[in-house]
């Protein structure tokens, strides 16, 4: 009962929703870049949100199931195929023994998630299955997946999905609408920017540079300037923190960010928009929009609410199947 990696893809790792409790010793949460896609991949595959999933970038991994299994693909649209036949995303898919999962085309998004019914075997480190590449711990041997890796899965599945469940495309369209600006709240040091830069950040476009990865997105755009140069002392940061680098460019800290940083903290992308940010590929443009903290909280709560509804729907589906 396993998934065998035929081709590894460029950056395929096992992730969950990240580890908590170790920031104070310098270990950040890590975890899936797109928590919404990772969570729904699990729910639709009949799991709770805590099972490990495989996160893949394009070109993504090709893999073979040595046993019948129930899977769900969520996140980026990389044109998923089973045995050369296209499959639907955001719904449970039954695959037969020796089925080959592959991704043909980079259509939209930046990272795709594979959830498997009852989950897969992964190494838990400091309470999480997420792969910590620097420490080489968690996930699959603490590293990127390689050719011929064999990931044990916890259950065979012979469920036939005659009945369907899927996430409404309208919901996904709203959530991942790449046209709408990224909402952010003001950061502790946004007032250090000069007036023109404060305006520029909210009124001009930025491009995600190719020096972007799971640690951070480096943006290119108009240079931003402080009123007077400062050297700060290190202070905690978080997923979504927007920092101003000494060269005048911005960086958005992503899932594998360091726990502390010494650059001015200008803004924080609201958590409800992090899934959309995580699915923005290199070279895409983005705009920032300033919102209140109260709005940010409300948006996160409604994202939680949406996930809770999806969870209930999936639980009922599997209970009646």
Partner 1 sequence: MVAEKEKGYENIIVTAATSLILTNKIIFISTTQFHIVPLSESALLFYYSPAIDIIINEKIMALHHKLASTSFPGFIESAPAYASLAVYYNPAFIKQYYPDTVTAFAFVQNIIESLARESDNLNFSQTKPITTIPIYYNGEDLEWVASTHQLTTTEVIQLHCGVVYHVFMNGFLPGFAYMGTVNEKIITARKDKPRLKVAAGSLGIAGAQTGIYPIDSPGGWQIIGTTPLQLFNKKKADPCLIKAGDQIQFFAIDKKEFDQLNEY
Chain residues in the site for partner 1 (CB under 8 A): 20-27, 125-126, 132, 134-137, 142, 185-186, 188-189, 191-192, 228, 230-241, 258-260, 265, 268, 270-271, 293-294, 296-297, 299-301, 304
Nearer to partner 1, 64 or 190 (CB): 190
**Would you list the DSSP string of 113-144?**
EEEETT-B--B-BTTB---BTTTTBSBTTTS-
Nearer to partner 1, 29 or 46 (CB): 29
Alpha helices in 119-257 (DSSP H): 169-175, 195-203
Q: Quick one: 66 exposed, middle or buried, by C-beta within 10 A (0-12, 13-18, 19+)?
A: middle
Q: Which residues pair with 232 in a beta bridge?
A: none
Nearer to partner 1, 85 or 233 (CB): 233
Please report how close the Cβ of residue 296 comes to partner 1 at its closest, in angstroms: 4
Q: Cβ–Cβ contacts within 10 Å for residue 234, how many?
A: 11
Nearer to partner 1, 213 or 297 (CB): 297
Please report how close the Cβ of residue 70 comes to partner 1 at its closest, in angstroms: 29
Tokens found for residue 281? 């590929």
Nearer to partner 1, 234 or 283 (CB): 234
CA neighbours closer than 13 Å in the CB half-sphere of residue 41: 31
Please report how close the Cβ of residue 129 comes to partner 1 at its closest, in angstroms: 15
What are the Cα distances from residue 179, in Å, to 77, 212, 218? 17, 20, 19
Please report how close the Cβ of residue 206 comes to partner 1 at its closest, in angstroms: 20
Please report how close the Cβ of residue 189 comes to partner 1 at its closest, in angstroms: 8
């Amino acid at each position: 009962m396993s998934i065998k990696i035929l081709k590894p893809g460029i950056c395929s790792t096992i992730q969950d929703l990240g580890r908590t409790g170790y920031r104070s010793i310098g270990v950040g949460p890590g975890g899936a870049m797109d928590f919404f896609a990772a969570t729904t991949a699990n729910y639709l595959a009949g799991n709770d949100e805590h099972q490990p999933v495989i996160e893949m970038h394009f070109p993504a991994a090709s893999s073979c199931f040595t046993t019948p299994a129930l899977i769900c693909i969520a996140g980026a649209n990389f044109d998923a195929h089973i045995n050369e036949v296209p499959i639907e995303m955001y719904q449970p898919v039954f695959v037969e023994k020796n089925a080959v999962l592959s991704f043909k085309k980079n259509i939209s998004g930046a990272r795709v998630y594979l959830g498997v019914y009852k989950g897969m075997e992964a190494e838990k480190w400091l309470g999480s299955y997420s792969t910590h590449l620097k420490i080489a711990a968690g996930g699959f041997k603490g590293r990127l997946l390689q050719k011929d890796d064999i990931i044990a899965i916890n259950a065979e599945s012979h469920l036939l999905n005659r009945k369907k469940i899927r996430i409404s495309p309208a919901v996904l369209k709203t959530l991942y609408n790449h046209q709408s600006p990224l909402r952010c709240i003001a950061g502790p040091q946004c007032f250090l920017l000069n007036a023109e830069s404060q305006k520029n950040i909210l009124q001009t476009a930025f491009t995600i540079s190719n020096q972007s990865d799971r640690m951070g997105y480096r943006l290119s755009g108009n240079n931003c300037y402080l009123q007077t140069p400062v050297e700060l002392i290190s202070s905690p940061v978080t997923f979504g923190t927007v920092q101003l680098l000494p060269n005048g460019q911005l960086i958005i800290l992503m899932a594998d960010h360091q726990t502390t940083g010494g650059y001015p903290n200008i803004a924080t992308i609201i958590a409800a928009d992090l899934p959309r940010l995580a699915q923005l590929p290199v070279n895409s443009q983005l705009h920032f929009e300033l919102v209140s903290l109260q709005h940010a909280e409300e948006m996160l709560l409604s994202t939680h609410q949406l996930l809770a509804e999806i969870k209930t729907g999936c639980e009922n589906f599997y209970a009646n199947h």
